[in-house]
Amino acid sequence: MTSLEATDLSAVSKRHPDVFRSRPWKRYGPLMLILAVIGYSFYCWWFFSIGDALRKANTDIAGAYLADWISWEARPVIDIESDGAMTITFPRFSPLGSDPRPDWLEADREMRTRTITRDAPAVETKALNDKISNSFMVPDAKGTKPENGGATSFMAPGAPTGGNAAGETATVTETVREEVVSRAVVTFDSADRVEILPDQATVTRGDETLVIRLGPGENVSVDGPLPEWAEQKYEGRKVIARFGFAGRAEIDHDGVKVYKRFLGWENFVFDTNSAFWGKSFGEVMSMIVSGERVNPARSNLGQAWYDILYNAEWQHLDVWTKLLQTIIMAFVGTLFATVVAFPLAFIAARNITPNRLVNQLAKRFFDFQRSVDMLIWALFFTRAFGPGPLAGILAIFFTDTGTLGKLYSEALENIDDKQREGVRSVGAAPLLVQRFGVMPQVLPVFLSQSLYFWESNTRSATIIGAVGAGGIGLKLWEAMRTNQDWENVAYMVILILGVVYAFDGISNFLRSRLIGESAR
Amino acid sequence: MATVDNTTPLSEAGRVIETHWREMTSRRRLYTWGGLAVVLLALSGSLWFANETNAGKFFDRLPYFFDFFIDLAPRDALEPFRALFDLPSPYDDGSFKYNYPEGRVVLTSWLYVPEYFYKMLETLNIALLSTLIGFTFGFLLCFLAAKNLNSNRWLRGTVRRIMEFLRAFPEIVIAGFFVAILSIGPIPAIIAVSIHTVGALGKMFFEVVENADMKAEEGLRAVGASWVERVGYAIVPQVMPNFMSYFLLRLEINVRASTIIGAVGGGGIGEALRLSISRGHEAKTIAIIFLLFTTIVAVDQFSAWLRRRLVGDQAFDFGR
């Protein structure tokens, strides 16, 4: 190798100064580009008013929603009446079933004779604060507005006044003897608990203890300073004690609302309406094998299977059906696109069909198919065929005919001409020339590209599903809109990830078999 | 084709070869037909299932499909034009269908941006910003995921798994989650598309980096350059044209993606399209489709031209 001395180098650079002088664009180009990007970011900050949106962001909710992905809450309410009697109620459709007595909620119960005053024929119109069993909203055909959840239907319209002719505030005083709770203890963690007496709540967290006096009247007062895990927004009003992930308790003069969080998905297999609910695996198995029939119409095995499939909260059957729809949308859409794009690509390829006009027509057709977005096709076909996988299939089919056709025709234009010449030289008919001169070269590439799109469409199918084109996308979107079913979202996300990873693997495997390792 | 002489008897070796060849072709044919049969079976099953679970049945709805296209015809040929430029319509009866001027984004007393142009701009900005964010993070991560620059197997594997996860995670869930926190608007769409882009670009980038010529890097290593210097002076100049090309390709894809995300709650032109189709506003629908179509074609053409200038005639359309 010839080597140059430093003096030579400087001499060379002096003789050819224009070679070594860097042009301003080369020198300042990257810097300008970076500055432009930074400037653009500021513009976007203003354009989308990102700062404003971030300030308004509800970050408290974010944590709760994220926790909902992997956990659930039990929300008992301990009501304290004015005479000191307490009652424990769980919301309707509580994941703990009707009238639960969980072991983390100890209660001393006693029979007591009480005189109670209540509004005449009281109709419970308490709004449901727990989720309704059919919490997935009903998808409406046009995907515009969600139906109002079932909550209103529980309200009694115009409660009868019970024959009180005077028209005054109807109150009835009666004496009843009933079981009431005199003391309740909610255990959050081994060291964290709330003890509730009619006039006092004692919160223990770790080695700290907070005594909250309930009353007199509507006053809530705290002995000593508030620790940092407890909060009282207004003097004399409710105190919120937080226990981190384990939950929180809202302590007010007339009752304590408990939000206790458990890790895991509640009632994943059987819902509370099922006869198998709350039983261990062994118990369920013995019921199936030798138990008495729960439902005379079906064997226990059939009933258990039915209960799992139609689990009201998790809707396994529906979720899996929708997942299958998504897979099918991608599969059939890509397959049809392949089948249609295949012959058209031969027409579009310059070297196969020598007619320029026909080439251009086919190519512009591909461009049209591609450029009308998948979204537009999806909305069109949803309008035409109603929500469901047909719209998704057709949307994927139309878009990918364009994309695959373009790729195929490019592959065809890059083939080696020698094989065709060889086949033609022995006098083969034009169709046979394509079969033996062209196909062997391009088929692996074609198949590999189709497989790639099959895999990528599995992902796209989820998204276009949300605009009504069927599949799991719509279900996912509806579960998210209620803001209650994040655990269902997590369930579906896991299923989708599983499918995407599986198809990724299958497609990669097949492609590497088809065109060797280089395809990856 | 030339005929083959079948009459000449073959030698022993020739016969063996011929039987082997016959066996091979018949097995091959069996595989081909078997595979086709499986695919056809899966296809007919799938079609049956799709038709069964669809809200409307294919053949029942097919006649109405064309009705829908007839419904899409505007009242006169100028209506889509008026809808596109927010000009007053002669049919204006106060309903949403003909209230074109109400969407104007007023700049001064006489200058305005038509509603759909503004929304298209919003969608384009979502796409560009999220591609830039994705590019930035993909760029930072890809060197850690490349085998030739990072010899730590665990770190490399972790970075790759993270990218895979970001790529596979459904965009719509990210968008939905941030809609719940930030309320409806373009920011959830930006976050969702960006996160996906980080994964997608990161994967393409590290594959480019792994194919880079390592001689320059070796030279720098020989003179004792640090890892950052080696990457910055030896690898980045080589891979930058390809990175830019992938960036442009991703931009094309993201314009489409942000339209779709927009339709499910991210604002922009996608939402406008969904609303106008579902409410049956034919002139507005045609105007939006026309605008979307031209924009996508323009973005595609521009990016194809720029990519050709950057990396020559390498076909990069494949892979999204």
A35-84 per-position pLDDT tens digit: 999 999 999 999 888 888 888 887 778 888 888 888 888 888 888 887 77
pLDDT (tens digit per residue) in B239-294: 988 899 899 989 999 998 898 888 887 788 988 988 888 888 888 889 998 999 89
Three-state SS string across A427-489, please?
A: CCCHHHHHHHHHHHHHHHHHHHHHHHHHHHHHHHHHHHHHHHHCCHHHHHHHHHHCCCCHHHH
**Pair (B41, B155) in one structural domain:** no
Inform me whether the pLDDT recorded for A128 exceeds 50: no
Q: Per the confidence metrics, is the pTM higher than 0.90?
A: no
**CA-closest candidate to residue A119, choices A180, A179, A177, A162:** A162
The CATH number of the domain holding residue B207 is 1.10.3720.10
Q: Quote the pLDDT of residue B2.
A: 52
- Nearest residue of B to residue A375 by CA position? B260
A328 vs B contacts (CB less than 8 Å): 46, 49-50
Chain B contact set for A318 (CB, 8 A): none
Contacts of B219 in chain A (CB under 8 A): none
Which residue of chain A is at minimal alpha-carbon distance from B276?
A379
The answer on B150 and B18 residing in a single domain is no
Mean pLDDT for chain A overall? 80
Angle at B234 between CA B233 and CA B240, to 5 degrees: 85
3-state SS track over B273-302: HHHHHHHCCHHHHHHHHHHHHHHHHHHHHH
Tell which wins on pLDDT, B209 or A83: B209
Which residue of chain B comes nearest to A384, CA vs CA?
B65
What span, in angstroms and rounded, lies between the C-alpha atoms of B253 and B246? Answer: 10
Cα A401 to Cα A461: distance, rounded to the nearest angstrom: 16
Q: Are B65 and A141 within 8 A, CB to CB?
A: no
Coil/strand/helix, residue B165 = helix
A433 CA: distance to closest CA in chain B (Å): 11
d(CA A510, CA A519): 10
Asked if A390's CB is within 8 angstroms of B50's CB, the reply is yes
- What's the pLDDT at A362? 92
pLDDT at B3: 57
State which residues form the domain around B262: 113-311
Q: How confident is the model at residue A358 (pLDDT cuts 50, 70, 90)?
A: very high
pLDDT, position A341: 94
Report the pLDDT value the prediction gives residue B6, as an integer from 0 to 100. Answer: 65
Of all residues in chain B, the one with the smallest CA distance to A426 is B1
> How much of chain B, in percent, has pLDDT values that exceed 90?
37
Given an 8 Å threshold on Cβ–Cβ distance, is A375 in contact with B128? no
Pick B215 or A178 by higher pLDDT: B215
Interstrand relation of A247-252 and A193-197 (parallel, antiparallel or unpaired):
unpaired
Is the pLDDT reported for residue A93 higher than 60? yes
Q: How far apart are CA B126 and CA B246, in angstroms?
A: 18
User: Looking at the predicted structure, is the pLDDT value of residue A129 above 80?
Assistant: no
Contact B53 A367 (CB under 8 A): no
What pLDDT does residue A119 have? 64
Rounded Cα distance between A340 and A368, Å, is: 15
Residue the block writes with tokens 């079948």: B6
> Which of A57, A427, A456 has the CB atom closest to B181's CB atom?
A57
Q: Are residues B28 and B148 in the same domain?
A: no
Cβ separation A375–B270 shorter than 8 A: yes
Per-residue pLDDT, B61: 80
pLDDT at A489 over 80: yes
Give me the total of CB pairs closer than 8 Å, taking one residue from chain A and one from chain B. 195
Lowest mean pLDDT among A107-121, A200-214, A477-491: A107-121
Handedness of CA B149, B153, B155, B157 (dihedral sign): positive
How confident is the model over B9-55, as pLDDT tens digits? 778 888 899 999 999 999 999 998 999 999 999 999 999 988 888 87
Query: Per the CB < 8 Å rule, is A476 touching B320?
Result: no
Instruction: Give the closest of B49, B132, B270 to A328, CB-based.
Output: B49
Cα of B55 to nearest chain A Cα, Å:
5
Q: B320, A456: Cβ pair inside 8 Å?
A: yes
Examine the pLDDT at B103 and tell me if it is beyond 70: yes
- Nearest Cα residue to A67 out of A208, A197, A235, A247: A247
Number of domains in chain B: 2
Contact flag B297-A367 (C-beta cutoff 8 Å): yes
User: Mean pLDDT, to the nearest integer, of B76-85?
Assistant: 84
Question: How would you class B112 by CB atoms within 10 Å of its CB: exposed for 0-12, middle for 13-18, buried for 19 or more?
Answer: middle
Cα–Cα nearest to B266, from B209, B211, B216, B193: B193
- Based on the fold, state whether residues B30 and B130 are members of the same structural domain: no
Confidence (pLDDT) at B12:
86
Mean pLDDT over A443-472 rounds to: 86
Residue B64: closest C-alpha in chain A: A384
Taking CB atoms and an 8 Å limit, are A501 and B168 in contact across chains? yes
Q: Which of A172-176, A325-329, B99-103 has the highest mean pLDDT?
A: A325-329
- Record: fold of A316-519: MetI-like fold (1.10.3720)
- Residue B289 inside a domain? The answer is yes
* Domain ranges within chain A, ordered by starting residue: 69-120+170-263, 316-519
CA distance, residue B182 to nearest chain A CA (Å): 5
**Residue pointed to by tokens 């596109």:** B84
CB A428, CB B1: distance < 8 Å: yes
Q: What is the ipTM of this complex?
A: 0.84
Do A385 and B297 lie within an 8 Å CB cutoff? no
Q: Which two tokens stand for residue A499?
A: 């499918």
Using a CB-CB distance cutoff of 8 angstroms, which residues of chain A are in contact with residue B40?
Answer: none
Residue B105 lies in a domain: no
Percent of chain A surpassing pLDDT 70? 88
Q: Which of B55, B173, B289 sits opposite A388 (nearest CB)?
A: B55
pLDDT at A120: 57
A225: Cα separation from own chain's centroid: 42
In this predicted model, which residue has the larger pLDDT, A287 or A40?
A40
Are the C-beta atoms of residues A70 and A486 closer than 8 Å to each other?
no
CA A196 to CA A229: how far, in whole Å?
18
Cα A383 to Cα B31, B65, B263, distances in angstroms: 41, 8, 15
Shortest Cα–Cα distance, A340 to chain B (Å): 15
Average pLDDT over residues B78-101: 81
Q: What is the CA radius of gyration of chain A?
A: 35
**Predicted pLDDT of residue A333:** 94
- Predicted local distance difference test score (pLDDT) of residue B4: 59
How far is Cα A452 from Cα A49, in angstroms, rounded to an integer?
38
Q: How far apart are CA B87 and CA B81, in angstroms?
A: 8
- Report the DSSP pairing between strands A230-232 and A77-80: unpaired
B207-244 burial code (b ≥16 CB/10 A, e <16): bbbeebeeeebeebeeeebeeeebbeebbbebbebbbb
CB contacts, 8 Å: B3 with chain A = none
- Say whether A389 and B54 touch across the interface (CB within 8 A): yes
Please give the single-letter amino acid code of residue B134.
G
Mean pLDDT of all residues in A397-420: 90
| A250, two tokens | 């809202």
Going by pLDDT thresholds of 50, 70 and 90, the confidence category of residue A1 is: low
Contacts of A394 (CB under 8 A, 6+ apart): A333, A377, A381, A385
Scanning every residue of chain B, which has its alpha carbon at the shortest distance from the alpha carbon of A483?
A: B180
The secondary element (H helix, E strand) that includes residue A255 is strand A255-263
Query: Which chain B residues touch A53 with a CB distance below 8 Å?
Result: 182-183, 185, 187
Residues B38 and B119 in one domain: no
Could you say which DSSP state residue A375 is in?
H
* Contact (Cβ atoms closer than 8 angstroms) between residue B159 and residue B144: yes
Q: What is the arithmetic mean of pLDDT over A504-515?
A: 83
pLDDT at A497: 93
Question: A219-266, pLDDT tens digit by residue?
Answer: 888 877 888 888 888 877 888 888 888 888 888 888 888 888 888 888
In 10 A of CB B253, how many CB atoms?
A: 18
Dihedrals φ, ψ of A249, to 5°? -130, 130
Task: Tell me, yes or no, whether B118 and B240 share the same domain.
Answer: yes
- What value does the mean pLDDT take over residues B100-104? 79
Q: Is B27 left (phi over 0), alpha (psi -120 to 50) or beta?
A: alpha
Q: Which residues of B touch A384 (CB under 8 A)?
A: 61, 64-65, 68
Residue type, A127: A
